[in-house]
Structure 1
Amino acid sequence: MLVAAAVCPCPPLLVPDIAAGAAPELDAARDACSDALGVLAAARPGLLLVVGPAAEAQSGTYPAGAHGSFRSFGEDLTVRLGEGPGQERQLPPSLCVAAWLLERAHWAASPVEGLAVDDRLAGDRCAAAGREAAARSERVAMLVMGDGSACRTLKAPGYLDARAEGFDREAARALGAADTEALTALDAALAREVKAAGRAPWQVLAGAAEGAGLEGRLLYEDAPYGVGYFVATWS
């Protein structure tokens, strides 16, 4: 059963070594992520499942101890997803950012495993994956990684799309209210068009939280670099 969740953005720029001189620009987001992880630890989960978007080739499960690196982003920095034997397959970027956040927080509250979700996965299949994940343990917590649209400004990675702000507004509202129905209803086609990488992981969370009676709180909402970043807790 899902007992708590934290939603965090997953840009590698959250890692100060990668952001370099721009690192202070995301200090507020990092602080909110730390607060969200504190809520997860307080829930005393038996399993922490980290969920994030990935390309199809990197989708699937990752055991405790799985490792990854930020070499493709110019930094020879390695991370590990909790303690365990791991495997040869490298973590996708979203789970690398999650692993960095957990290492930064000295996570020791429970075992950690990863689930990378194909960012094109249909909403009903995302919800089904969430329900299956929530049944893994009597006390499951989720760290859900994902960004909003990448089309908020002319200089955004996806250029300006007038629909992006509305998409982000509804996503932020649903995440802050733990509104599983609204998250499930997010339009997958629109999410792709505004380059919102969080859609699939958020819908996994919605499936996992069905019937759990969790309350949400939005800790952070902004669009630096023209990309929607949100931090929320469900408990």
Structure 2
Amino acid sequence: MLVAAAVCPCPPLLVPEVAAGAAPELDAAREACDEAIGAVLAAGPDLVWVIGQGPRPGVHRPGARGSFRPFGVDLDVYLGAPDESADVTLAPSLAVGAWLLTRAGWTGETRGHEVAPDDSAFAGADGAWRLGEGRTGKERVGFLVMGDGTACRTVKAPGYLDERADGVDSRIAESLRTLDRDGYLAQLDAGLAAELKISGRAPWQLLSAAWSQDHGDDGTGRLLYEDAPYGVGYFVASWT
């Protein structure tokens, strides 16, 4: 059973060593991530899946390694217990998730699932929940779902300014707050997500499908953070 989920943004700038002098600008986001992840760990999961977008879709086993060296920082992270002999395989979104879990003090079993930007395979609940339960036999599973909203909120944003971005991010925020009861995340179009440079679409859809299968409309959703520093929509949510 999926017992709780945290939704967090995935910019490497969340890691203070990467952000350097700009680190305080995301202090509120980090604190919200800590709260959301704390709620997952308080639910007593046997396993935490870190789910995020990346170029090599597939499952990453415990001990998988990520690195922030491409961002100028000599810092490696791992899914759970370190395997220093492992190659660097984690996409940046999963590496940020691994860093957040280490920051939270999680030492239990951790696995990663990397999804492609246009992946819709997990929009159906049956496929989604086999990820969390069928492959591992764990009865209590937590999700840490990594992804950003639009990257088109200002003229200085990575995707420049798109007038649709504010409205889309508002819908995303409301759906994260309400356990996606309106189905907006589950139906978010891959083409629109690509145009607005949304990296959270496929991970959020996986979460929505898994939660719906296990809990229906039951549960509590909280939106802990919503902002657009650097013109990118960042959200932190807690589903319990």
Distance 1:126 1:89 in 2: 29
Within 5 A, what are the aligned runs for 1:38-187? Answer: 38-55=38-55, 58-83=56-81, 85=83, 87-88=86-87, 90-108=89-107, 110-122=108-120, 124-128=121-125, 129-136=127-134, 137-180=138-181, 181-187=183-189
Check the 8 A contact 1:81/1:112 in 2, yes or no: yes
> Match for residue 30 of structure 1?
30
Given candidates 220, 225, 228, the residue that maps to 2:233 is: 228
**What's the C-alpha RMSD, in Å, of the aligned pairs?**
1.5
Give CA-to-partner distance per residue, 1:198-224, whole Å, 9 cap, x none: 001000101111131332100000000
1:3 counterpart = 2:8: no
Check the 8 A contact 2:46/2:139 in 1, yes or no: yes
Structure 1 residue 90 displacement after superposition:
1.4
Runs of 4+ that moved beyond 4 A:
84-87
How many residues of Structure 1 are paired with residues of Structure 2 in the alignment? 231
Give CA-to-partner distance per residue, 1:47-77, whole Å, 9 cap, x none: 111100112xx22100111011011111111
One-letter amino acid of the structure 2 residue matched with residue 225 of structure 1: Y
One-letter amino acid of the structure 2 residue matched with residue 17 of structure 1: E
Secondary structure, counterpart of 2:90 in structure 1: coil
Check the 8 A contact 1:4/1:214 in 2, yes or no: no
Structure 1 residue 40 displacement after superposition:
0.5
Distance 1:165 1:187 in 2: 16
One-letter amino acid of the structure 1 residue matched with residue 143 of structure 2: M
TM-score normalized with structure 2 length: 0.92
Structure 2: gaps spanning 5 or more residues? none
